[in-house]
Amino acid sequence: MADTNMPHVSEQGRGDKELTTLRLNLREQFAEFLKKKMYRNTQERYKVLDRIAALDKHFNADELYIHMSLLGDRISRATIYSTLDLLTACGILVKHTFQGDSAHYELTSRKPHHDHLICTECKRIVEFNLDSMREIQTAVASTYGLNALSHSLQIFGVCDDPMHCEHKQHSPAV
């Protein structure tokens, strides 16, 4: 798919080539989903997806809106919200709700399965992946007669070192 808006600078540390491939793959996946569901295939939706592809972290809708505005994209919050819903329904994004906080999203393809630690003071999100979590998942599920497919664990706490709780500074997600 031709994309005349492809930026020439790399965004957020992904290599240009890697990012281009990722964007093309995600666009293809999204286009297929939109077609199947008979949703409109608008350029704004692809623009949102392109920006998300470059974000190698969690973000919420407001952070994405600010991020895109700073990059000069003219996009409404409503489009961002509806596109995030579509991208989640299509499996491109995973949506996390961390305790009453606004929903956070991340690319499904970003990382293999991981769980989250969240500082309730500064909202810092740490990702971890422990083999023992998978063993616990299997053991607990089999105790109750289930074949475990997946799990989602969120641990809430506060940073050890209050100096690293940068609650008043920029959001850690974007």
- Alpha-carbon distance of 9 to 12, in angstroms, equals 10
DSSP-derived 3-state class of residue 106: strand
Examine residue 121 and tell whether it contacts Zn ion (CB under 5 A): yes
Residue placing its CB nearer to Zn ion in the complex, 92 or 122:
122
137 Ramachandran zone, left/alpha/beta (phi>0; psi -120 to 50): alpha
- Alpha-carbon distance of 15 to 9, in angstroms, equals 9
Residue placing its CB nearer to Zn ion in the complex, 92 or 119:
119
Residue placing its CB nearer to Zn ion in the complex, 79 or 95:
95
- Residue 66 C-beta: closest distance to Zn ion, Å: 20
Residue from the set 24, 126, 141, 159 that interacts with Zn ion by CB under 5 A: 159
Helices (H), 2-106: 16-37, 43-54, 61-70, 77-89
- Residue 67 C-beta: closest distance to Zn ion, Å: 17
Region near Zn ion per CB under 5 A, out of 35-43, 65-73, 111-119, 143-151 = 111-119
Examine residue 122 and tell whether it contacts Zn ion (CB under 5 A): yes
Examine residue 32 and tell whether it contacts Zn ion (CB under 5 A): no
- Alpha-carbon distance of 150 to 131, in angstroms, equals 13
- Residue 37 C-beta: closest distance to Zn ion, Å: 26
- Alpha-carbon distance of 32 to 38, in angstroms, equals 10
Region near Zn ion per CB under 5 A, out of 3-11, 64-72, 144-152, 158-166 = 158-166
Region near Zn ion per CB under 5 A, out of 15-23, 24-32, 100-108, 145-153 = 100-108
DSSP states of 82-93: HHHHHHHHTTSE
Residues engaged in binding Zn ion (CB under 5 A): 106, 119, 121-122, 124, 127, 159, 165
